[in-house]
Amino acid sequence: MSEIASMLVTHRTASIDEIETAWHGDVETILKWVRSQDRVEECAVLKTCNRVEIYVVAPRGERVLFDLAKKARVSSRIIDFHNHDESLLHLLRLASGLESMIIGEDQILGQMKELTQIAMRAGTTGWMLETAFKKAIQVGKRVRKETRINERSVSVGSAAVDLAEEILGDLKGKSVLVIGAGETGELISRSLLCREIGSLAVTNRTLSSAVCLAESLGGEAVPFEDMPCRLHTADVVISATSAPHYILLKSDIEEAMAGRINKLLIIDIANPRDVDQDAAEVPGVELHNIDSLKNISRENMMQRMAEAARVEEIITEELQLLQAKYKRKEAEELLARLYSQAEQIKDQEVRKAMNKLSARHTLGEIEQQVLCDMSRSIVNKILSEPTKSLKSAAERGDLEILKSLCELFRLEEKT
């Protein structure tokens, strides 16, 4: 019987280098490849700056995923494999912010919605995964409404600003360049405005996006081709684009540092990375990436962890409801096969009875209808109590009864 299984490469088990190289290609490419594998009925991919998670619906799903990882040459050392119930629990925890690098961050909810929609548009999801992700998003919203898990720093973007402040001691009067005008770039920029910085410049490959963000925040939009010049005067650079390659090479940084005395702090929170790691060798440059965020905002995290107990209660409650829904679905599928089998037998026997009666008497429409109604009523009454018992057993998680029903009535799903 098919169930959900997942494999996760996240900041908990892997470095940023390992996450970047774990799965090649964009989400659509990975979806297409996973869906093309034998036995995979549904699939979805969550790919963010600090995680790549693949979900499948398949018989023996964990085995399927293990084979996928082997084909992709991803080390099992950095992968967590989850079965059905573990996958559901993880999804609810993830949407609630408990699995994020920054506990309680809000950005994961939007990412989850977007990536689920990508999978749905690609036609790789069905009832099983759509039910799980829909529930996860609902739980994430409930958690943020009923608890304070998302107070203080709420994203990797704002955590990057916290890191800059921690390293420099104070951002007051500093000149900051933000590379990227997407959602993360906006979060970074808004967080910077609370730090009394000296100036904010935003650059983006699409200038109109940089202009829109900069104008809304009172900053300056910088054409992407002018970015190297702006590096020369910036105190802090925070980069968060979705570029598939480096946008800042070591040579760019060397040129920017020529003739300047002040130190340049660069924080690269993109995945794949925006900044060539060799840039850290340039004198006067301090370069950090996502791995550096793991050690910041400990006080904020302690406050959020105090809320985690209430979040766990909500997750436990919602997980039970979700599991019951899957169990009811499993029972309903078995019952559908049972009723279909009974319907076929009923039709065969009614035809036999009508043929025998027709050989002696003329059967009118009324007589035929009476025979059909009577046989249908007998089937429904015989199966009524077993139906109630089976649904109840499914909700209790009594899989032995479901298995016994399959064996007694030979209800193995046809392949």
Cα 102 from Cα 86, distance rounded (Å) = 22
* CA 89 – CA 415 distance, rounded (Å): 30
Residues 6+ apart with CB under 8 A from 123: none
* Catalytic option among 43, 49, 194, 229: 49
Among the listed residues 56, 57, 48, the one whose alpha carbon sits nearest the alpha carbon of residue 106: 48
Find, among 81, 110, 83, 78, the residue nearest to 94 by Cα.
Answer: 110
Query: Who contacts 271 (Cβ-Cβ below 8 Å, separation ≥6)?
Result: 16, 19, 20, 48, 49, 50, 290
Buried b (16+ CB within 10 A) or exposed e, 286-316: ebbbbebbeebbeebbeebeebbeebeebbe
Q: Say if CB 264 and CB 235 are below 8 A apart.
A: yes
Structure tokens at 181: 């005008």
Cβ(273)–Cβ(303) below 8 Å: no
- Closest Cα partner for 189 from 217, 166, 163, 215? 217
Phi/psi region, residue 59 (left: phi>0; alpha: psi -120 to 50; beta: rest), is beta
What are the residues whose beta carbons fall under 8 Å from the beta carbon of 323, sequence distance 6 or more?
85, 88, 397
CA distance linking residue 113 with residue 136, whole number of Å: 10
52: left (phi over 0), alpha (psi -120 to 50) or beta: beta
Catalytic, 43? Answer: no
Structure tokens at 305: 């962890």
Residues involved in catalysis: 49
